[in-house]
Every structure is written in C-alpha cells, then in structure tokens.
C-alpha cells in the first residue's frame, strides 16, 4: 500500500459481515465475521482455495447479494439493508464489473456494448458514441470498435468488458477472475490495463486464484473457511 493510500478515505467498510445459506432448517455459514476496510486508490486481490467464500464476498461487495448479518458501508452509506431497487441503483452508480466470461452481448458491436451502460444517462447519442470510442481507444481497441464479440479474441473481448466497466466512471472496479479464460499473453495485456488504472487512482478489487495475477495488486486479502486468514500489504511472500 502506498503512503498516499493509507491517508486516503475508506470507500468500503465491512464490520461483522456474515453470510449463511439454509438447507432445510440447517444453517450453512459461508462467511463469518468479516471485518475489512478498503481505501480509495487501493488495488486489492482476494484469494483463497475453492469454497473459501471468495465469490460470496465479491457478490456482497458488488451489491449483488446481501449479507445475513453485519454492516457494509460503501462511500459512507450503509448498503447492507437496501431494497433490491436501491441495491441496483447503488451498483450501477458506484461499481464497474469485469467477469471471467466477459458477459458481452453477442449481437452488439464492441462500440455498442460499451455504450449500453450509458443508455439511461443524460448524454446525447453522439456524446455516448464519442465517449465509448475514446474508452475503446484507451484499452487499445480503436481499430476494433465495429467488430462483433465473435470476431475478437478472448483478450480483446475482455478489454471491451473493461471499457464497458469504466464508461460511467465508477468509484470501484470489481474483477472476478478476469483472466480465467485467457492465455498468458492476453492475461499480461489485461493486467497491464488494471495496473494503469491503479496508477491513475482507481480502486480495484480483484478475485483470482492465480498468484501471478494477484501479484499486480498492492494488497492481498486471503480467505480461509469463510474468514480472513491473512491481510498482506505489499508484495506476496
């Protein structure tokens, strides 16, 4: 963690977060008593073995799911008890998502996929197109803006997904195994984009099981059996 990050405001604060599912009447805890502060401008990896609770934690952080218990403050506002529509509003305004499977619409071009999150904003059509074009150029796809997803490599599709995640200038980027379907060259290209975003001051939360990918982050939260077993600032040992 850089010194400036230590002094920067807390954008995510979890206190006593727990998540359980029920099989019949039996409670099955997945997360237990998670306390975590993430500061503006941090690049945090979340790691751990399968079943440790990584995806569940990411879903809570991303306002895709609610905790069973505990407090979650996002930008100083409690979100743990919001309604579905309030959660969706918060998610769309504050968070940009990048998924392992890209989640692009196959019948839309790269440009139109990136424009999509702006449809409900206040921008005119020409402004939306200009902004999306610039964003695709910033991830090295200026010559691919009219290509369909099927005409692009996995690495190119993921870069479209990153451009789409960034287009509404979210406070936080959340990436769930973003390199899981990529070869080593594409992985490096995608992670170099995240590195640049980190240097520009973006807050990034990355779930990965790949040590090399986690190495791009400035802080590493290790989950084990539903709780935080290690919180490492700086390089992984």
Q: What is the token pair recorded at 200?
A: 């520009």
Residue range 172-182: average pLDDT? 94
Sorted by where each starts, the structural domains of the chain and their CATH numbers stand as 40-65+83-233 (3.40.50.300)
| pLDDT band at 1; cut points 50, 70, 90 | very low
State the average pLDDT for the chain: 93
Task: Report whether 57 contacts 224 (CB < 8 A).
Answer: no
Measure the CA angle with vertex 12, ends 30 and 236; round to 5°: 75
* CB atoms closer than 10 angstroms to residue 28: 9
Cα 207 to Cα 230: distance, rounded to the nearest angstrom: 15
Q: Which residues contact 211 (CB under 8 A, 6 or more apart)?
A: 236
Question: Contact at 8 Å (CB) between 28 and 195?
Answer: no
pLDDT more than 70, % of the chain: 97
Q: How many CA atoms lie within 13 A of 203 on its CB side?
A: 23
pLDDT-derived band at 171, boundaries 50, 70, 90: confident
pLDDT at residue 89 above 90? Answer: no
The CA radius of gyration of the chain, in Å to the nearest whole number, is 18
Nearest CA to 110 out of 102, 98, 121, 99 is that of: 102
For the chain, the straight-line distance linking the first and the last C-alpha, in angstroms and rounded, comes to: 15
Q: How far is CA 145 from the centre of its chain?
A: 23
Element spanning 14, H or E: strand 10-23
Is 39 within 8 Å of 11 (Cβ atoms)?
yes
Task: Report yes or no: 22 and 198 within 8 Å, Cβ to Cβ.
Answer: no
């Amino acid at each position: 963690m850089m010194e400036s990050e230590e002094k920067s405001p807390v954008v995510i604060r979890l206190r006593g977060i727990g998540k359980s599912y029920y099989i019949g009447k039996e409670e099955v805890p997945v997360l237990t008593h998670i306390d975590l502060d993430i500061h503006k401008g941090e690049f945090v990896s979340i790691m751990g073995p399968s079943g440790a609770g990584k995806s569940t934690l990411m879903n809570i952080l991303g306002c895709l799911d609610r905790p069973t218990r505990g407090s979650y403050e996002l930008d100083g506002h409690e979100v743990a008890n919001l309604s579905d529509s309030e959660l969706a509003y918060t998610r769309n305004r504050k968070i940009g998502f990048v998924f392992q499977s890209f989640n692009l619409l196959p019948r839309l071009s790269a440009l139109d996929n990136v424009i999509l999150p702006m449809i409900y904003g206040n921008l005119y059509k020409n402004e939306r197109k200009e902004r999306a074009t610039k964003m695709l150029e910033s991830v090295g796809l200026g010559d691919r803006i009219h290509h369909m997803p099927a005409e692009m490599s996995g690495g190119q599709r993921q870069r479209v997904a990153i451009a789409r995640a960034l287009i509404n200038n979210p406070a936080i980027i959340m990436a769930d195994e973003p390199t899981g379907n990529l070869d080593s060259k594409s992985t490096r290209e995608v992670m170099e984009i995240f590195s640049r975003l980190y240097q520009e001051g973006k807050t990034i939360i990355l779930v990965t099981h790949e040590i090399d990918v986690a190495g791009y982050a400035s802080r590493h939260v290790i989950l084990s059996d539903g709780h935080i077993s290690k919180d490492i600032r700086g390089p992984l040992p």
